[in-house]
A and B are shown apart, each in its own frame.
Chain A
Amino acid sequence: MSLIGPSRHQGSQKAGARRAENNRIYAHPLPLAFHAPDSASALSRLFSLFGVSSTRLDNPHCEGIFDPYTRSVWVVSEKDSTILWRRGFFGKGDLSRSEPSWLARQINARKAAGKYMTSEEIREKRRAERRQFKLDRAAAIARAAAEAEAAFAEGREAAPTGPTLPEAPPDDSDEDSDGEEEEPLENVEHLQLTLQEAWFLVWNLDCLTVLDSQTNQPMTLQQIWRAFQDVHSIPPPQSPTDPQALRFDNPFLIHYAAYHYYRALGWVVKGGIKFCVDFLLYKRGPVFHHAEFAVVVIPVYEDPADQESSPFNLPNSETFSWTWLSTVNRVNSQVQKTLILTYVTIPARSRISPELVSSPACLAHYSVRDVVLRRFIPARMRD
């Protein structure tokens, strides 16, 4: 369950084995797994000639609890969390960086030799190394400047300071922890699915059951559809016919339209708050390679009157200023991601009846289009 963390000093042989291991664990891109029969028996061939496929469909039927206060669906069972993470990278462990690895970290902390390091532990190690390096560097700069000062004071012509050849970072020795008998660990972590991920699993793949937090009863699709939109209205609408209840510019609908667009194209879509954007797109998953694209969702109102009467203050709905665009672009180009502006058009209430919002059929009227944004440096583009 725990990740074998990437380390800079591993040989290529270990990297190849790790890659094969990752390919084996994360083989299924969606929670619905298809198992093709290995043996091409005569019976299966007969069936396929008649158009009946002999591939087996494995639906994990996970369960989650809807929590309106955190606007997420909690998957508490460990088995379900593992399946949802390993097949499609859905959700995020609430006590971890991405994959629910809190239990593994606690076990590692108790064991004497931590053979496997989770991603959080790698991150802490890296930060400690860097902090130490920065202290060393500041001291070295001060020393070099003092040397240059002394040389200048004597009248010798000294050149400006510069960095040296790299030193190997200091090696941290693993601390030994005494093996005291402690109480057995209970996994208190759960997997948190965003509303968009949960709706995608419930609606398209039908592999998730959402329970109501108060009654612990499974919610029907219609109830889920209603509830996911109502979390964004503060205060919640009193009745289903409340005009505030039926709006096309509900943030859930807009973000779901963009999420569905990229998921259906095969990308793994995760949150992008770390890089000032809405979504990050991974080709196969976060364990394989860094995200290539950073997506900013820009809602566009077809009718400006809708924007004025809207109770939601949608982010990015006002046109950006160039300074903000430059900021986001620079943040992302520092980490080698390409910025994508995804425009989601919100249908006008005058053109499409708002009654349509009561069913997912309204999603057909949102159009999603993307624009790639990059800097253009004329000095470099001359040839």
Chain B
Amino acid sequence: MDDNLETPFAAPKPDAPQEREEDEQSSGDEDQGPDWTKIPGLNVARPVIPKRGEKDFEPIAQGGSGLQRHVLDRSRAAMLEALKATRTISYKSVSHAIWYPELSRAHVTVARGIHFTTMGHSAARPAPVPEEDAKKMQKRLELLPEEALYLVERGAMYCWKPTDEPIHHTAHLDDMGGVPMMVQQAFAEMIGTEDLTLEKYQVYAYLKRLGYVVTRAKPPSSDYPVPPPFPSKARTSTSILARLYNAMASLLARLTRIFSPSFDWWRPIRCSRWLHHNMSNVSLYKSLRFLSSGHHVPLHIQRTPEKPPSQYEIFFHLYKPSTPFKKTAPPPPDFSVVVVNARTSPMPTISELTDLFGQLPELPPPAPRKRVSFAQQKLAAASAASSTPSQAKGPTSTEQSLRTPVTAWLWPPSCFGAAQKSSVQARPPNPFPSLKMGNKIVVIAAVDAGTISFFRFGQGVFTEWPMA
């Protein structure tokens, strides 16, 4: 927004250094169009025009001026010139595949380029020429419809369709026994097969173009490799001291409950000086949490059976470009993506979200930022060493966090407050990164006639990070 108190002038602005922290939610960089002067295939001898000018806040009273028209025409001309150039690819780097509509797969006969390290899977099919002792399976590289369509649209692959008509032999193209498909024909044939809609293809193509590896979450056939199932939540291993403390605390709680009156809904909180009952802010807040809350509380929402099955299913697994991806043994995915049409589907209901979260693993809280003291920063800068050991202000260890409740139980806090203070030396972990991320994340892509909005829905962890 226009927050800086600046007045404009006619000279160009010097490039502001890109030092500001990338705001995760702002979309400034993403919305800028492509730089038309840097597209390959254009003539070199052309005037260089600036990438994007500053927008005028108000139109001039006299109407559009000559300068404004001139600048606008220049940018438009650059864009049209870039689009006019023909895209070419060397015939030595083109791959070839045959599209089988009844299988809705494309069988890759000639694979060239780096695409196939992350795309395609090997499927076993019966041999094309039936021999005497038939039933001989051959493994071959196959592509799902979205993968084939993506490569065809890029121009990196020729897709052929088998046909019975006589074929004219062409130079440079191997005798494939079929006719090459146009991109238009590829779209028409492949969208609609194998659960692929136009929205899903658009999301797939967008993410692939950015460099991610995108695979299907639900394997369409048994040949499709799947990542290992998410490990169920491992029980936190508790030391003997912790278990002993828990047992004693529950016993004490049961004893006090015998002597204290039963829970009265008209008077839920009682503060009494006997037994330090709710005589501090911390314990008062703890007793305030008597209403059921959190995601583990069961949902009793009635599902109407006549409603169609929910559209909210995890469709794609997303891997970041930096993750080492092996086609035959894919690692657990970085993100799980659901694709919906924004015009026809409303937002997910809580039951749909709970179902989605049920399939996802719990993520650990994000690592705290390493804080380096000023003296160490200067040292690092002076010596230009790569890594100075930084003061780890990580979460307190289990033993340290155990010591505090034990001291609180054995000695009344009013007498021995000093002992408590000494045990809380390390900085407690910052709750905000964890609160803002949640512990389970699902990415929902809402496609609105070509415009894709990605949202991250995270399961809230407010009950685990109380402020008091």
Which residues of A line the B interface, CB within 8 A? Answer: 28-30, 32, 34, 36-37, 40, 44-45, 48-49, 51-55, 57, 133, 136-138, 140-142, 144-145, 147-149, 151-153, 158-167, 169, 203-206, 221-222, 257, 260-267, 283-284, 292-293, 298, 300-304, 319-323, 325-326, 329, 333-334, 338, 340, 343, 345, 347-348, 351, 359-361, 363-383
Q: How far, in angstroms, from A206 to B29 measured CA to CA in the complex?
A: 53
Closest 3 CB pairs of A and B: A266-B468, A266-B467, A370-B460
Which residues 449-467 of B have a CB within 8 angstroms of A? 453-460, 462-463, 466-467
Q: How far, in angstroms, from A222 to B70 measured CA to CA in the complex?
A: 75
Given A141-B58, A371-B353, check contact A382 B321 (CB 8 Å): yes
Q: How far, in angstroms, from A59 to B335 measured CA to CA in the complex?
A: 51
Which residues of A sit under 8 angstroms from B57, Cβ to Cβ?
137-138, 141
Do A322 and B460 touch across chains, with their CB atoms under 8 A apart? no
Answer whether residue B6 sits at the interface, using C-beta atoms and an 8 A cutoff. yes
Which residues of B sit under 8 angstroms from A140, Cβ to Cβ?
7-9
Among B273, B446, B453, B467, contact of A52 (Cβ-Cβ < 8 Å):
B273
Q: How far, in angstroms, from A144 to B285 measured CA to CA in the complex?
A: 60
Answer whether residue B276 sits at the interface, using C-beta atoms and an 8 A cutoff. yes
Across the two chains, which residue of chain A brings its CB closest to B296? A369
Given A345-B350, A368-B291, check contact A377 B300 (CB 8 Å): no
Answer whether residue B391 sits at the interface, using C-beta atoms and an 8 A cutoff. no
Binds A, one of B20-28, B166-174, B373-381: B20-28
**18 further A-B pairs in the complex, CB-CB below 8 A; given A166-B5, A169-B5, A373-B455:** A28-B281, A52-B274, A138-B58, A159-B11, A160-B50, A163-B6, A266-B466, A319-B346, A323-B342, A359-B266, A366-B291, A367-B292, A367-B293, A371-B438, A371-B458, A373-B457, A375-B455, A379-B210
Do A161 and B8 touch across chains, with their CB atoms under 8 A apart? yes
Q: Mark B246-289, 1 if CB is under 8 A from A, else 0.
A: 00000000000000000001111101011110011100110011
Q: How far, in angstroms, from A184 to B166 measured CA to CA in the complex?
A: 106
Do A369 and B295 touch across chains, with their CB atoms under 8 A apart? yes
Answer whether residue B71 sits at the interface, using C-beta atoms and an 8 A cutoff. yes
Answer whether residue B128 sits at the interface, using C-beta atoms and an 8 A cutoff. no
Do A371 and B273 touch across chains, with their CB atoms under 8 A apart? no
Given A322-B342, A372-B436, check contact A262 B12 (CB 8 Å): no
Do A343 and B350 touch across chains, with their CB atoms under 8 A apart? yes
User: Can you list 11 A-B pairs with a CB-CB distance of less than 8 A?
Assistant: A32-B284, A137-B6, A141-B56, A142-B58, A151-B67, A164-B9, A319-B347, A368-B293, A369-B350, A375-B24, A380-B29
Answer whether residue B60 sits at the interface, using C-beta atoms and an 8 A cutoff. yes
Do A347 and B300 touch across chains, with their CB atoms under 8 A apart? yes
Which residues 339-355 of B have a CB within 8 angstroms of A? 342, 346-347, 349-350, 353
Answer whether residue B432 sits at the interface, using C-beta atoms and an 8 A cutoff. yes
Q: How far, in angstroms, from A82 to B6 measured CA to CA in the complex?
A: 41
Which residues of B sit under 8 angstroms from A338, Cβ to Cβ?
435-436
Among A161, A300, A363, A369, contact of B291 (Cβ-Cβ < 8 Å):
A363
Given A292-B432, A374-B25, A376-B454, check contact A53 B299 (CB 8 Å): no
Q: Could you say which interface size class chain B belongs to?
A: 35 or more
Which residues 1-45 of B have a CB within 8 angstroms of A? 1, 4-13, 22, 24-27, 29-30
Which residues of A sit under 8 angstroms from B65, Cβ to Cβ?
145, 149, 152
* Minimum distance in angstroms from A327 CB to a CB of chain B: 12
Do B455 and A376 touch across chains, with their CB atoms under 8 A apart? yes
Main secondary structure of the interface of B (DSSP, over half): loop
Among A54, A137, A145, contact of B414 (Cβ-Cβ < 8 Å):
A54
Which residues of A sit under 8 angstroms from B12, Cβ to Cβ?
159-160, 162
Across the two chains, which residue of chain A brings its CB closest to B321? A382
Across the two chains, which residue of chain A brings its CB closest to B343? A322
Q: How far, in angstroms, from A144 to B459 measured CA to CA in the complex?
A: 51
Q: How far, in angstroms, from A152 to B60 measured CA to CA in the complex?
A: 15
Do B322 and A383 touch across chains, with their CB atoms under 8 A apart? yes
* Minimum distance in angstroms from B55 CB to a CB of chain A: 9
Q: How far, in angstroms, from A298 to B460 measured CA to CA in the complex?
A: 14
Residue from B11, B207, B280 with most neighbouring chain A CB atoms (10 Å): B11
Q: How far, in angstroms, from A186 to B54 measured CA to CA in the complex?
A: 54
Q: Mark B419-463, 1 if CB is under 8 A from A, else 0.
A: 000000000000010011110000100101000011111111011
Residue from A34, A167, A363, A381 with most neighbouring chain B CB atoms (10 Å): A381
Answer whether residue B227 sits at the interface, using C-beta atoms and an 8 A cutoff. no
Which residues of B sit under 8 angstroms from A380, Cβ to Cβ?
22, 24, 29-30
Among B6, B267, B297, B347, contact of A325 (Cβ-Cβ < 8 Å):
B347
Which residues of A sit under 8 angstroms from B460, Cβ to Cβ?
340, 369-372
* Minimum distance in angstroms from B301 CB to a CB of chain A: 5
Across the two chains, which residue of chain B brings its CB closest to A267? B467
Do B281 and A30 touch across chains, with their CB atoms under 8 A apart? yes
Among B26, B271, B297, B414, contact of A333 (Cβ-Cβ < 8 Å):
B26
Q: Mark B376-404, 1 if CB is under 8 A from A, else 0.
A: 00000000000000000000000000000
Answer whether residue B155 sits at the interface, using C-beta atoms and an 8 A cutoff. no
Answer whether residue B224 sits at the interface, using C-beta atoms and an 8 A cutoff. no
Answer whether residue B206 sits at the interface, using C-beta atoms and an 8 A cutoff. yes
Which residues of A sit under 8 angstroms from B280, Cβ to Cβ?
34, 55
